[in-house]
Each structure stands twice: as C-alpha cells, then as structure tokens.
Amino acid sequence: MYPGLLIAFEGIDGTGKSTQLPLLATHLRERGLTVAETKEPTDGPYGQQIRALYRDRRQGTPEQELELFVLDRRQHVAECIQPALEQGTIVLTDRYYFSTAAYQGAVGCDPGHIFARHDFAPEPDLVLLLTLPVEASTSRIRNLRGETLNDFEQQEQLEKVASLFASFPHSCIVRIDAARPVEEVQSSIRAAVQQLLVRKGV
C-alpha cells in the first residue's frame, strides 16, 4: 500500500492523451496537490529500442516487442512510479499496461497473459480511457500532427486495438468520449478524477 494515487491515460493514437494529461496536472496543482507527469514508452534504454521498432516493425516478433514493453515498464515502475506513489504523489501516466494488452494483443499476444505478466505493476486507481472512432484518430494524426502513420498506427491494426480496449472489464476504467472539443473532454476527465478524490478522501 502507498499514499499516492495512480491515474493512467489510455486510448488509441490521436485521442488527445498528451493534450489532456498536462491540463489535468495543472488543475490538480492549482488545488495544491503534488503531481508527477510521466509517459510510456519511456526515454530509457528500452524505450529507445521501442522507438527504433516504430521505424521498421518487421525487425522483431510480437513476443520480442512485448518483452521490450514489459522491460521498459518494469524500469518505469521501479524508478519512477513506485517511489512517487510512496511519497504521496498523484502520478499521471500517458499509457500503461492496458496499452500493452491492447496493442500487443492486436498483433497476436494473449491479452490475459499480458495482464498476468504485470503483477509487478501497481494497479491504477483510475484509467481514463479516451475513446474515438478509428477514422477520426487517423485523420487527426495526419492533419494535426502532419505525420504519416507509423507501423503501430495503421488503420486496420488500430481497429483491433480499439476493440481490445473496448473489451477490458476492469472496474478502474472510465471511458471518456474524446470526439468532443478539448475543454469538454477535460471537464469529463476532471469529473471522473473528482469522484476518485472524494472516494479516497483527498
């Protein structure tokens, strides 16, 4: 047990996680709470290997890919998440093990097995799962970020990822419709977090 809170942002690419997370962080800090913002894949050695994979996914098998994400997360939990939670910090992470279950699940790994491999990782107090139709996600990536889609982001693949995300039954997951303006999405996020804070007596 630890005094902090762990909140994970999840969802397919282009749902706005990296816009929404800092907005929530600012809001919580304005309320006097201590917040840490973090993300996966990390910038550590395994995260860098993962980024190299984006460029040519055929370099590795799905199992090797899964291995790298798990190694990256082990290091992230041990060096960042766990110590922050022990200090009473509210940790906001952009992606966590639900991403692995969905993305590596979509390339053939068993999601149940992936969840089971994460017994070392603290269960989040709240998962904000941002939902968006896949077509909207890919057009956001192309138009707003001006990027071509990397291998992780191919449309057909993202359909599978989205349906795996939709299938997860965990009670910590709150689904947020991310097809709305940024402020509306943020206001739904704050409402879900407020419920958590009240429940935890923060």
User: According to the binding rule CB under 6 A, does residue 82 interact with ligand TYD?
Assistant: no
Q: In degrees, to the nearest 5, what angle opens at C-alpha 96 toward C-alphas 85 and 114?
A: 120
User: Binding-site residue total for ligand TYD (CB under 6 A)?
Assistant: 12
153: DSSP letter:
G
Give the per-residue contact string, 106-145, with ligand TYD (x = CB under 6 A; - = no). ----------------------------------------
Two tokens at 141?
A: 């990536």
Min separation Cβ 202 and ligand TYD, Å: 27
Q: Which of 5, 8, 81, 152 binds ligand TYD (CB under 6 A)?
A: 152
User: According to the binding rule CB under 6 A, does residue 165 interact with ligand TYD?
Assistant: no
Min separation Cβ 16 and ligand TYD, Å: 11
Using a 10 angstrom Cβ sphere, with 0-12 exposed, 13-18 middle and 19 or more buried, the burial of residue 74 is middle
Instruction: Measure the CA–CA gap between 82 and 151, rounded to whole angstroms.
Output: 31
Min separation Cβ 76 and ligand TYD, Å: 9
Closest by Cα among 92, 81, 87, 89 to 120:
81
Min separation Cβ 73 and ligand TYD, Å: 7
Closer CB to ligand TYD, 95 or 117, in the complex: 95
Q: Report the 10 Å Cβ neighbour count for 177.
A: 11
User: According to the binding rule CB under 6 A, does residue 168 interact with ligand TYD?
Assistant: no
Angstrom distances, CA of residue 52 to CA of 6, 56, 95, 170, 200: 28, 7, 18, 32, 40
Site for ligand TYD in 17-56 (CB under 6 A): 40-41
DSSP 49-69: HHHHHHH-GGGS-HHHHHHHH
Q: Which of 95, 109, 128, 132 binds ligand TYD (CB under 6 A)?
A: 95
Q: Which of 4, 10, 13, 186 binds ligand TYD (CB under 6 A)?
A: 13
- List of residues contacting ligand TYD (CB under 6 A): 13, 40-41, 69, 94-95, 99-100, 103-104, 152-153
